[in-house]
Structure 1
Amino acid sequence: MEKITLGILAHVDAGKTTLIESMLYESHQIKKQGRVDHQDAFLDYDPQERERGITIFAKQAKFKWKDHEIFVIDTPGHVDFSASMEQVLSVLDVAIVLISAQDGIQSHTETIWKCLKEYEIPTLIFVNKMDIAYRNKEEILEEVVSKLDPNSIDQADKDREEMIAMCEDKALEEYLQQGSLSSETIQRLFLTRRFFPTFFGSALKNEGVDPLLDSLCALVGQKEFSQEFGARIFKIQEDGSALAKITGGTLKAKEIVNEIKIDQIRSFNGQKYTLLQEANAGDIVALKADTDWKVGDGLGYETAQQERLLASFLTYELLLPEEVDALQLWPYCQQLAKEDPSLQLDYHERSKKITLRLRGDVQKEVLQKMILEKTGILIGFSQGSVVYKETIGKQEYGVGHFEPLRHYAEVHVLLDPLPAGSGVVVCNGNRIESLSLGWQQQIMNALNQRQYGVLTGSELTDVQITLIAGQGNLKHTSAADFRQAAHRAVRQALRKGKSILLEPYYTFKIEVPSQSLSKVLYELEQRNASFEILETEEDMSTIQGSGAIRLLMNFQSELSALSKGRGKIAFIKSVYAPSQDTESIVKTIQYDPEADLKHPTGSIFCKQGAGYYVPYDEVEEKMHLHPLDTESSHSYERVRYHVSDEEAKRAFERTLSKKKEKPKAKKPKVKQELDHEEIKIQPKKPELLVIDGYNMIYSWNSLKDLAKADYNAARERLIDQIVNYQGYKDIDVYLVFDAYRRKQGEGRNETRHKTKIIYTRYGENADSYIERLVHDLKSHYSISVATSDGLIQNSILASGANRISARELEGKVMGVNAIALSHLK
Structure 2
Amino acid sequence: MFKTIGVLAHVDAGKTTFSEQLLYHTNSIQARGRVDHQDTFLDNHAIERARGITIFAEQGRMQIGNDTYTLIDTPGHVDFSPEMERAIRVMDYAIIIVSAVEGVQGHTETVWQLLRQYHVPTFFFINKIDREGADVKVVMAQLQKECSDDVLLIEEPLRSDYVSSHVAEWLAERDELLLESFLTESLDAPTCLSSLQAMIKEEQAFPCFMGSALKDIGIKEFIAQIPLLTATHYDNELPFEGEVFKIRHDGHQRLTFIKALQGTLHVRDDFSFGEFTEKVTEIRIYNGSRFETVKEVCAGEIFAVKGLSQAQIGDILGSSISPQPFELIPTLQAKVQYDGGQHIKDVLKIFRLLEAEEPTLRVVWHEKFQEIYVHIMGVIQLEVLCEVLANRFSLAIAFGEPKILYMETIRTTVTGYGHFEPLKHYAEVHLLMEPNTRGTGNTFVNACHADDLSVGHQRLIEKHLFEREHHGLLTGYPVTDIRFTLLTGRAHIKHTDGGDFREATFRALRQGLEQAENVLLEPYYRFKLKAPNDFIGRMMTDIQQAAGTFDTPILTEEHVILTGRAPVATFMSYSTSFAAYTNGKGSLSLQFDGYDVCHNADEILAQIGYDKNADTEYTSSSIFCAKGKGYSVPWQEAQEAMHCLR
TM interval, short-chain normalised = 0.7 to 0.9
Aligned-partner Cα distance in 2 for 1:68–1:438: 48
Q: Which residue of the partner structure matches residue 227 of structure 1?
A: 238
Residue 94 of structure 1, CA deviation: 1.7
**1:18 aligned onto 2:36:** no
Residue 501 of structure 1 aligns to a residue in which SS?
strand
Residue 98 of structure 1 aligns to a residue in which SS?
strand
1:487/1:16 CA distance change after superposition, 3 Å: farther
Aligned-partner Cα distance in 1 for 2:295–2:452: 38
Aligned-partner Cα distance in 2 for 1:25–1:608: 79
Q: Which residue of the partner structure matches residue 329 of structure 1?
A: 347
Aligned-partner Cα distance in 1 for 2:303–2:590: 37
Q: Which residue of the partner structure matches residue 420 of structure 1?
A: 438
Report the residue type matching 2:208 in the other structure. T
Q: Which residue of the partner structure matches residue 609 of structure 2?
A: 590
Residue 40 of structure 2 aligns to a residue in which SS?
coil
Residue 5 of structure 1, CA deviation: 2.3
Number of residue pairs matched by the alignment? 625
Query: Which residues of 2 match residues 425-824 of structure 1 at below 5 A?
Result: 432=450, 451-454=469-472, 455-464=474-483, 493-508=512-527, 525-530=544-549, 534=553, 546-552=565-571, 554-556=573-575, 563=581, 570-575=588-593, 576-593=595-612, 595-596=614-615
Residue 315 of structure 1, CA deviation: 1.9
Aligned-partner Cα distance in 2 for 1:210–1:433: 68
Query: Which residues of 2 match residues 62-81 of structure 1 at below 5 A?
Result: 62-81=61-80
Q: Which residue of the partner structure matches residue 247 of structure 1?
A: 261
Query: Which residues of 2 match residues 313-352 of structure 1 at below 5 A?
Result: 313-321=331-339, 326-352=344-370
Query: Which residues of 2 match residues 167-246 of structure 1 at below 5 A?
Result: 167=174, 179=187, 181=191, 185-204=195-214, 206-225=216-235, 227-238=238-249, 239-246=253-260
Give 1:357's match in structure 2, choosing from 367, 375, 389: 375
Unpaired runs of 5+ in structure 1? 629-825
Residue 559 of structure 1, CA deviation: 5.8
Aligned-partner Cα distance in 2 for 1:361–1:394: 37
1:426/1:293 CA distance change after superposition, 3 Å: farther
Residue 187 of structure 1, CA deviation: 3.6
Contact 1:318 1:354 in 2 (8 A): yes
Contact 1:305 1:448 in 2 (8 A): no
TM-score when normalising by structure 1: 0.64
Q: Which residue of the partner structure matches residue 90 of structure 2?
A: 91
Contact 1:240 1:293 in 2 (8 A): no
The one of the two structures with greater contact order (alpha-carbon pairs below 8 A, sep at least 6) is 2
**1:303 aligned onto 2:318:** no
Residue 22 of structure 1 aligns to a residue in which SS?
helix
Report Cα offsets for 1:403-428 as digits up to 9, x if no partner: 99999998876655443333455677
Q: CA RMSD in A?
A: 4.6
Question: Identical aligned pairs, as a percentage?
Answer: 33
Report the residue type matching 1:243 in the other structure. F
Aligned-partner Cα distance in 2 for 1:481–1:61: 50
Aligned-partner Cα distance in 1 for 2:171–2:14: 28
Report Cα offsets for 1:244-268 as digits up to 9, x if no partner: 2222334343333234312424222
Q: Which residue of the partner structure matches residue 289 of structure 2?
A: 271
1:393/1:564 CA distance change after superposition, 3 Å: closer
Aligned-partner Cα distance in 1 for 2:487–2:229: 43
Unpaired runs of 5+ in structure 2? 157-163
**1:385 aligned onto 2:403:** yes
1:447/1:9 CA distance change after superposition, 3 Å: farther
Residue 241 of structure 1 aligns to a residue in which SS?
strand
Aligned-partner Cα distance in 2 for 1:214–1:29: 15
Contact 2:452 2:489 in 1 (8 A): no
Residue 387 of structure 2 aligns to a residue in which SS?
helix
Aligned-partner Cα distance in 1 for 2:315–2:341: 38
Aligned-partner Cα distance in 2 for 1:136–1:519: 30
Q: Which residue of the partner structure matches residue 715 of structure 1?
A: none
Report the residue type matching 1:248 in the other structure. Q
Q: Which residue of the partner structure matches residue 169 of structure 2?
A: 162
1:164/1:511 CA distance change after superposition, 3 Å: closer
Report Cα offsets for 1:478-507 as digits up to 9, x if no partner: 999987777666556545533432212334
Residue 123 of structure 2 aligns to a residue in which SS?
strand
Q: Which residue of the partner structure matches residue 261 of structure 1?
A: 278
1:471/1:295 CA distance change after superposition, 3 Å: farther
- The answer to which of 352-361 and 437-446 deviates more is 437-446
Aligned-partner Cα distance in 2 for 1:479–1:288: 32
Residue 84 of structure 2 aligns to a residue in which SS?
helix
- The answer to which of 315-324 and 235-244 deviates more is 315-324
Report the residue type matching 1:203 in the other structure. A
Contact 1:5 1:71 in 2 (8 A): yes
Aligned-partner Cα distance in 2 for 1:257–1:482: 28
Contact 2:154 2:209 in 1 (8 A): yes
Residue 289 of structure 1, CA deviation: 3.5
